[in-house]
């Protein structure tokens, strides 16, 4: 009977260690610092995210000759980063995070076209 109790205790400890490791991994992913600057490879865009939740985007769209600069806010939602831009025409952009990349998933097709903002690469 003593061996069975020892095996059950060892199994319980192993499960607790696995649960602790999974919890730590989720916490590390959830708190990863996304602040910094991101630039577009497909479009002339630069997105800056500050730790306190402020955001700014600058760039030029393919069909326009002038550059734009707009401020707003950002927040993280699981693996998504939601950007709310203010200005003459408020805009909401949703990116999915993958390492040092932000991949556009939702955008206003009238403002951004079919391809949207594209993929943004972290530069700092």
Alpha-carbon span 117 to 57, nearest angstrom: 11
Q: What average pLDDT does the segment 41-54 reach?
A: 91
Query: β-strand 119-122 against 101-106: which pairing, if any?
Result: antiparallel
pTM, to two decimals: 0.69
Give the model's confidence band at 24: pLDDT under 50 very low, under 70 low, under 90 confident, else very high: very low
Residue 63, token pair as written in the block: 């069909």
Q: Locate tokens 């999974």: which residue?
A: 22
């Amino acid at each position: 009977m003593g061996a069975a109790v020892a095996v059950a205790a060892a199994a319980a400890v192993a499960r607790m260690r696995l649960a602790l490791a999974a919890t730590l991994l989720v916490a590390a992913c959830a708190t990863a610092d996304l602040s910094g600057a991101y630039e577009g490879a497909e479009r002339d865009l630069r997105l800056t995210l500050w730790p306190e939740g402020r955001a700014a985007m600058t760039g030029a769209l393919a069909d326009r000759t002038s550059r734009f600069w707009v401020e707003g806010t950002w927040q993280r939602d699981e693996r998504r980063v939601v950007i709310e831009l203010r200005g003459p025409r408020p805009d909401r952009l949703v990116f999915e995070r993958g390492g040092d990349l932000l991949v556009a998933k939702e955008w206003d097709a009238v403002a951004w076209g079919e391809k949207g903002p594209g993929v943004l690469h972290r530069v700092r």
